[in-house]
Amino acid sequence: MAEESKDSPALQSNVFRTLLSASSEMFRVWRQKRHDCRQLNLLSDSGLKDLAIDRSEIPSIVHAGTNERRRNHGD
Protein backbone atom coordinates (compact mmCIF):
# COMPACT_ATOMS: atom_id res chain seq x y z
CA MET A 1 0.00 0.00 0.00
CA ALA A 2 1.44 3.35 -1.01
CA GLU A 3 1.64 6.13 1.54
CA GLU A 4 -0.44 9.22 0.89
CA SER A 5 1.51 12.42 0.45
CA LYS A 6 0.53 15.56 2.35
CA ASP A 7 -0.93 17.01 -0.84
CA SER A 8 -2.93 13.98 -1.91
CA PRO A 9 -6.61 14.64 -2.67
CA ALA A 10 -7.69 11.67 -0.53
CA LEU A 11 -5.89 13.03 2.54
CA GLN A 12 -7.19 16.55 1.94
CA SER A 13 -10.71 15.18 1.58
CA ASN A 14 -10.37 13.22 4.82
CA VAL A 15 -9.09 16.28 6.69
CA PHE A 16 -11.94 18.37 5.29
CA ARG A 17 -14.53 15.77 6.37
CA THR A 18 -13.02 15.63 9.86
CA LEU A 19 -13.06 19.42 10.22
CA LEU A 20 -16.59 19.63 8.87
CA SER A 21 -17.77 16.94 11.26
CA ALA A 22 -16.11 18.60 14.26
CA SER A 23 -17.51 22.01 13.30
CA SER A 24 -20.96 20.57 12.84
CA GLU A 25 -20.86 18.95 16.28
CA MET A 26 -19.62 22.16 17.93
CA PHE A 27 -22.48 24.09 16.29
CA ARG A 28 -25.02 21.49 17.42
CA VAL A 29 -23.77 21.65 21.03
CA TRP A 30 -23.81 25.48 20.96
CA ARG A 31 -27.40 25.51 19.68
CA GLN A 32 -28.49 23.01 22.33
CA LYS A 33 -26.92 25.07 25.13
CA ARG A 34 -28.54 28.22 23.78
CA HIS A 35 -31.90 26.43 23.71
CA ASP A 36 -31.40 25.15 27.27
CA CYS A 37 -30.61 28.68 28.54
CA ARG A 38 -33.73 30.02 26.88
CA GLN A 39 -35.91 27.27 28.33
CA LEU A 40 -34.60 27.82 31.86
CA ASN A 41 -35.07 31.57 31.51
CA LEU A 42 -38.74 30.96 30.70
CA LEU A 43 -39.29 29.49 34.17
CA SER A 44 -40.60 31.71 36.92
CA ASP A 45 -38.37 32.65 39.83
CA SER A 46 -40.35 30.29 42.07
CA GLY A 47 -39.95 27.49 39.51
CA LEU A 48 -36.20 28.05 39.46
CA LYS A 49 -36.16 28.15 43.26
CA ASP A 50 -37.89 24.75 43.32
CA LEU A 51 -34.97 23.46 41.25
CA ALA A 52 -32.49 25.22 43.61
CA ILE A 53 -31.31 27.43 40.75
CA ASP A 54 -30.83 31.18 40.89
CA ARG A 55 -31.51 32.96 37.59
CA SER A 56 -27.95 34.31 37.58
CA GLU A 57 -26.63 30.72 37.61
CA ILE A 58 -28.36 29.61 34.41
CA PRO A 59 -25.42 30.26 32.04
CA SER A 60 -22.89 28.59 34.33
CA ILE A 61 -25.13 25.57 34.87
CA VAL A 62 -25.82 25.13 31.17
CA HIS A 63 -22.26 25.70 30.01
CA ALA A 64 -20.29 24.07 32.82
CA GLY A 65 -22.77 21.56 34.23
CA THR A 66 -24.32 21.27 37.66
CA ASN A 67 -21.06 20.27 39.37
CA GLU A 68 -19.37 23.52 38.34
CA ARG A 69 -21.96 25.96 39.71
CA ARG A 70 -20.74 29.41 40.69
CA ARG A 71 -22.63 29.31 43.97
CA ASN A 72 -23.17 26.46 46.38
CA HIS A 73 -26.67 25.89 47.73
CA GLY A 74 -26.11 24.64 51.24
CA ASP A 75 -29.83 24.66 52.13
pLDDT band at 12 (very low <50, low <70, confident <90, very high): confident
Q: What is the domain partition of the chain in residue ranges?
A: 30-69
CA–CA gap between residue 44 and residue 63 (Å, rounded): 21
Say if pTM beats, i.e. exceeds, 0.75.
no
Percentages helix, strand, coil for the chain (3-state, rounded to 5) are 70, 0, 30
pLDDT band at 66 (very low <50, low <70, confident <90, very high): low
